[in-house]
Amino acid sequence: MRRRNWLFLFKKGFTLLELLIVMVILGILFVMLLRTYNWISTMVFRVQQEKEVYQELLQISQTVQNFADRNSIDYTKYLGTSLVDTKWITNILYLSWQDGQISLYTTGDCVDPAVDYMLTGAWSWCSLYVAMHGKTVELINTKKIVLSKAVFKIIPFASQDQYLNGTWLCDTENYLHCLNTPGFRMIFKAYSINYGTQRATHIVVPFQQFF
């Protein structure tokens, strides 16, 4: 008798309601698994983008540092300009010495790519260039990052002895005479190349370094 009951229950199988419940549970699990997979994929891609941006910034930093080590600021290029009025901020950095005449600058219509994209819906960008020996070389890989417009802040330096004994030091008319082995800061923002299309993986890194 017991054997027949077990056979009867086995032959009966699942009801339609039980099958629907199982399908709903499997569907919920599948959706949760899919969302987790998408989140992990997004984070992995974001980390990769961030890594590429920092690698490019490291390369820029090393390249500009090499130029700064071998050269000094060419103040003759700034004669007649209003560096004092702009608080020593310029869009073009002129260097000269071991490498000859060098200029560092960014080109493009952008001031800030993120702002341009939000206001116009168009993705504009700048790239960093160095002009030397009659040639222009791009210093970044625009397939990985884009830049906002870079500015350079020249930081004049005078020795303590000059400050103590030079009453004329850094007068408006003679400001170039107070400069002694000065440095400069390079300031811009770096963006991942997909910044304007994939919001979940936006990468923006402010860059400011003293050379």
| CA distance linking residue 31 with residue 61, whole number of Å | 45
Angle (CA) 90 123 111, round 5°: 15
Does residue 77 contact residue 104 with C-beta atoms inside 8 Å?
A: no
Angle (CA) 201 111 152, round 5°: 105
* Closest residue by Cα to residue 181 from 163, 155, 161, 162: 155
Does residue 111 contact residue 149 with C-beta atoms inside 8 Å?
A: yes
- pLDDT in the model for residue 35: 86
Q: Sorting pLDDT into bands at 50, 70 and 90, what band is 43?
A: confident
| CA distance linking residue 8 with residue 203, whole number of Å | 64
Radius of gyration of the chain (CA): 31
Q: Which of 2-11, 49-58, 116-125, 140-149 has the highest mean pLDDT?
A: 49-58
| CA distance linking residue 39 with residue 46, whole number of Å | 10
pLDDT tens digits for range 77-128: 877 777 767 878 889 999 988 889 999 999 876 666 556 555 565 666 788 9
- pLDDT in the model for residue 66: 94
